[in-house]
Amino acid sequence: MMNWNVKCQKLWAKLQAFGKNEEGAITVEWVILTAGVCTLAMGMYTVFKIDPKQEVTNELSYIIMSNMPI
């Protein structure tokens, strides 16, 4: 059985190597950013009770009506 101090030293060395390795860091940042945007969007739907179908219908109606000649 290994000594506790030896186990800690090996674990610490692995953690330091992991911290220095920047491979995949950009991917992780984009995943976190995307999750944050999705969370904000879900929060807005919950707080403001926005109905996406109704909002799209309103926008399309406005576009159609604004392009019609008088």
pLDDT in tens, 6-37: 888 888 998 888 888 877 778 889 999 999 99
Q: pTM for this structure?
A: 0.43
In a domain, 52, yes or no: yes
In a domain, 14, yes or no: no
In a domain, 9, yes or no: no
In a domain, 21, yes or no: no
Q: Work out whether the CA dihedral 47, 51, 57, 58 comes out positive or negative.
A: negative
What would the mean pLDDT of 37-53 be, rounded to a whole number? 85
**7: Cα separation from own chain's centroid:** 36
The number of domains in the chain is: 1
Q: How many helices (H) and strands (E) does the chain have?
A: 3, 0
In a domain, 47, yes or no: yes
CA–CA dist 28, 47 (Å, integer): 28
Provide the token pair at 39: 């969370």
In a domain, 44, yes or no: yes
In a domain, 13, yes or no: no
In a domain, 18, yes or no: no
Place 2 in a pLDDT band, splitting at 50, 70 and 90: low
